[in-house]
Amino acid sequence: MTASLYVHVPFCVVKCAYCDFHSTPISQEPGVADHFAWAVGEGVVHWAALGALDDVASIYVGGGTPTTLGPALVSLVEALSRSVRLAPYAEVTVETNPDTTDAALVAHLVDAGVNRFSLGVQSFDDVVLRTLGRCHTAASAQRAIEELVSAGAKVAVDLICGVPGQSLDSWRDSVERAVASGVGHVSVYPLSLEEGTPLAESVASGALAAPNEDVAAEMMELASARLAAAGLRRYEIASYARDGDESKHNIGYWTGRPYVGIGPSAASMLPADVFEAAIACEAWSDPGVTGVGRTLESVPAGTGRIRFVRSADTIAFLRKPVGPPEEVEYLTPAEAAAEDAMLGLRLADGIPDALATSAGSAEVLAGLESRRLVEHVDGRWRVTHSGWLLGNEVFEAVWNAGARRGLVWHSL
């Protein structure tokens, strides 16, 4: 089985104002970073023993901010390399932020096998960075890019548009500077207000203007045009790359490749047989976790794919790196196909006819075509320019056409 491996490092120096991902400020307590690296190693050994990591196409160490672990991150990556069988040309990415990107650490990570860094730049405008609650400046982002590029790794940067107070000029400047930095991969995200974040609260209280969808759309179009002119093709809704610099790991998510997630709140997606083998493990029938033995005795008949999520509790993960998930979702082969079709349509190249048929979405795609949201070219369905910006119309139609029964959910 070819799979991807995702490691979630839940630590950040400071949580950003817009972020609702699972993270906690890095503990000053000595040994936490090493303890975390050990715990990830335990998880990797568990899944390797079950054969899930025999052919790993990509590794992504994300978060949080993995580089807050410092030298322990190097041992973590070394442990991964020891336990998994990497495919030839496998992509090994580490996510980082300007303020935690240290030249020596980067060099050690490259030595340990990291060949790609994803840097959270978000903007080259210090005012916008402050609104977002980022604790770095445009200058430190510039310096971090230079360090990463000179270390010989591929570099991807993230940019956010549609931020309250962000002008079109500010945005254009950020895109230009990303292009000028010479990175091969740029992700462009319109700001989305997540419930409960400080940014959402500022907007709700009126302290900040609400993001304007029209302005965000204009900014996405501006970025698309400018990046294309610089040779970075939009290969997915938010992802731009030079040829060959596309993220293999992320493409895995959009093409149905199984993945193993390790760390608090990490999601995994595996075929039924691998999941069943995991259930049988001693570590999964934890009497301390109520109901597990009963609920996870077997996989429902007709299940094609299983997605499950570990608890977001970092302390629990550190105490017990291997254990049963908190939530499990069973998908039939038809639902798995509908999901693959929905996710595949995020890609600029879209999905082949065969997938559209097995996902039961041929009919709705024809309907979407008449609304000019998708087009049919060379035996593939793909989104049009308006389908790109109105993707939810497409995803909703495709997913709901394929998902005919209620999903079976287990909350443990």
Partner 1 sequence: MSQATHIRNFSIIAHIDHGKSTLADRVLELTHTVADRDMVEQVLDSMDIERERGITIKAQAVRVLYSADDGQTYQLNLIDTPGHVDFTYEVSRSLQACEGVLLVVDAAQGVEAQTVANAMMAMNAGLEIIPVINKIDLPAAEPERVRQEIEEGLAIPADNAVLTSGKTGEGVREALEAVIARVSAPQGDPDAPLKALIFDSYFDTYRGVVALVRVIDGRVSKGMKVRIMATNTVTDVEEVGVRRPANLPVDTLDFGEVGYLITGLKDPALVKVGDTVTLAKHGATEPLPGYREVKPMVFTGLFPIDGDQYPDLRDALDRLQLNDPALIYEPESSHALGFGFRAGFLGLLHMEVVKERLEREFDLDLLATAPSVEYHVFTTSGEEVIVHSPQDMPKAGAIERVEEPYLRATVLVPPDYVGAVMELSESRRATFKDMQYLSATTVEMHYDMPLSELIMDFFDQLKSRTRGYASLDYEYIGYRTSKLVKLDILLAGKIVDALSFIVHRDKAYQRGRVLTEKLREIIPRQMFEVPIQAAIGGKVLARETVRAKRKDVLAKCYGGDITRKRKLLEKQKKGKKRMKNVGNVEVPQDAFMAILKVDE
Q: Which residues bind partner 1 (CB under 8 A)?
A: 6, 8, 188-190, 192, 213-214, 216-217, 220, 237-238, 250, 253-254, 259, 261, 265-269, 307, 309, 329, 339, 342-343, 346, 371, 386, 388-393, 395-396, 399-400, 403
Smallest separation, CB 327 to partner 1 (Å): 8
Distance between CA atoms of residues 67 and 48, nearest Å: 25
Nearer of residues 131 and 265 to partner 1, judged by Cβ: 265
- HSE-up (13 A, CA, CB side) for residue 195: 0
Nearer of residues 167 and 386 to partner 1, judged by Cβ: 386
Smallest separation, CB 251 to partner 1 (Å): 11
Burial of 44 (0-12, 13-18, 19+ CB in 10 A): buried
Nearest to 56 by CA among 108, 92, 96: 92
Smallest separation, CB 397 to partner 1 (Å): 9
Distance between CA atoms of residues 382 and 373, nearest Å: 9
185 touches 157 (CB < 8 A): yes
Smallest separation, CB 21 to partner 1 (Å): 8
Nearer of residues 147 and 329 to partner 1, judged by Cβ: 329
Smallest separation, CB 111 to partner 1 (Å): 27
Distance between CA atoms of residues 352 and 381, nearest Å: 6
Nearer of residues 8 and 248 to partner 1, judged by Cβ: 8
Distance between CA atoms of residues 351 and 359, nearest Å: 11
Host H or E run for residue 344: helix 333-344
Smallest separation, CB 139 to partner 1 (Å): 26
Angle between helices 103-112 and 138-150 (to 10 degrees): 40
Distance between CA atoms of residues 383 and 389, nearest Å: 9
Distance between CA atoms of residues 292 and 27, nearest Å: 31
Distance between CA atoms of residues 105 and 254, nearest Å: 31
Nearer of residues 151 and 215 to partner 1, judged by Cβ: 215
First to last CA, the chain: 28
Nearer of residues 144 and 342 to partner 1, judged by Cβ: 342
Nearer of residues 108 and 307 to partner 1, judged by Cβ: 307
23 touches 15 (CB < 8 A): yes
- In the block, which residue shows the tokens 């999941």? 275
Nearer of residues 124 and 253 to partner 1, judged by Cβ: 253
How many other C-beta atoms are found inside a 10 Å radius of the C-beta of residue 352? 15
Smallest separation, CB 245 to partner 1 (Å): 18
Smallest separation, CB 149 to partner 1 (Å): 24
Host H or E run for residue 395: helix 391-402
Smallest separation, CB 389 to partner 1 (Å): 5
83 touches 41 (CB < 8 A): yes
Smallest separation, CB 18 to partner 1 (Å): 11
Nearer of residues 61 and 266 to partner 1, judged by Cβ: 266
Distance between CA atoms of residues 406 and 401, nearest Å: 13
Nearer of residues 75 and 174 to partner 1, judged by Cβ: 174
DSSP 399: H
